[in-house]
Structure 1
Amino acid sequence: MGEKTGYPVIYLDKECWQPGWTYPPQEEWEKKNREYISGREWIIDGNHHETLEMRVEAADLILFFDINRLLCIYSVWKRHGHKRVDFPDYLDEKKDKAFWQFLGWVWNFPEKCRPGILNIRKKHPEKMFLTFRTRKEVSEFLNEIEP
């Protein structure tokens, strides 16, 4: 999407996770997010619920990928341990306790996190909020974007 629009892409996981898989202090993380949304054009990739509402308030368009959890688990498994543009180079992914906990988070996302996203959506009916349930829908949407 960034290539097609020319907008800068900010990957929250890459910006958030610090050495040793530590999270930045809340005030620092919120300040960074305010900086990300202060630009005129941007694409921000990631959940990070603690700063989601401020990003929604600043966004023109919100894309919610409400994809089947089994497909999400498979995707996490498949990409795990591979170099990715959305992740810091200095972190090593291992199939350790944290990995299994993350898979649990992905599995429980529909019950634990989805309602919060839908509540934010309800709170901001003026925002364009697109929900994708399949990868095919995502592909079709991306194909419609004019460079």
Structure 2
Amino acid sequence: MQCIAIVGCGGSGKSVLARALAERTRLPVTHLDCVHYDADWNPLPKDQFAAIQHDLVQQPGWIIDGNYASTLPIRLAVADTVIFLDLSAATCLWGVLKRRMRYRGGQHQDAGVFDRINWSFVKYILGYRRGMRPRVMDLIEEYAPKANVVILRSRRQTRRYLATEAATD
């Protein structure tokens, strides 16, 4: 594992997993929410956001967490490992609520957290498995055919992965 792309619904634990993997592998981690938004929560222009990712994936080793389906092919084409956190909407909503209680909203660069909850974000989480999941799976199949794809469907599976497979890679 040298080039790891972590994807999944908001609140699924992408940033937490990325930080844990970075500790084990000593690979640099990039949280795309921290790249995509400035301090005032304004998104970068799409071409600039894509250019930054092109530069990131040219590094010899990395962990990048975040969905951003429009630029996901950039990461998938280079990743040797893709970890898809395919958790239930209820689990992801609980994760968002816990994050809100911990960080009290806003952007936290050190933690990879961009904590902004609104109705459209809640709807996105509720519809992720039906709407976005098939798209992400298609992108993984198309752009990362040779990558080791790990699908984790619960927090327990994620902890087990960290304790076993990730610890030995």
Q: TM-score range by the shorter chain?
A: 0.7 to 0.9
Give the SS at the match of 1:44. strand
Distance in 2 (alpha carbons) for counterparts of 1:64 and 1:51 = 16
RMSD, matched Cα = 1.8
Give the SS at the match of 1:10. strand
Distance in 2 (alpha carbons) for counterparts of 1:13 and 1:26 = 13
> Where does structure 2 lack aligned partners over 5 or more consecutive residues?
1-20
Contact kept, 8 Å, 1:4 with 1:146, in 2: the verdict is no
Counterpart position of 1:87: 113
Distance in 2 (alpha carbons) for counterparts of 1:55 and 1:142 = 22
Counterpart position of 1:46: 66
Give the SS at the match of 2:42. coil
Distance in 2 (alpha carbons) for counterparts of 1:87 and 1:132 = 21
Number of matched residues?
140
1:110-129 superposed matches below 5 A: 110-123=129-142, 124-129=144-149
| 1:104 Cα deviation after fit | 1.0
Counterpart position of 2:126: 107
Distance in 2 (alpha carbons) for counterparts of 1:100 and 1:63 = 27
Structure number with the higher strand fraction is 2
- TM-score after normalising by structure 2: 0.76
| 1:81 Cα deviation after fit | 5.7
Give the SS at the match of 1:38. coil
The structure whose Rg is larger is 1
Contact kept, 8 Å, 1:5 with 1:146, in 2: the verdict is no
Counterpart position of 2:86: 66
| 1:19 Cα deviation after fit | 3.6
Structure 1 residue runs of 4+, over 4 Å off?
Answer: none
Contact kept, 8 Å, 2:35 with 2:49, in 1: the verdict is no
Percent identical among aligned pairs is 24
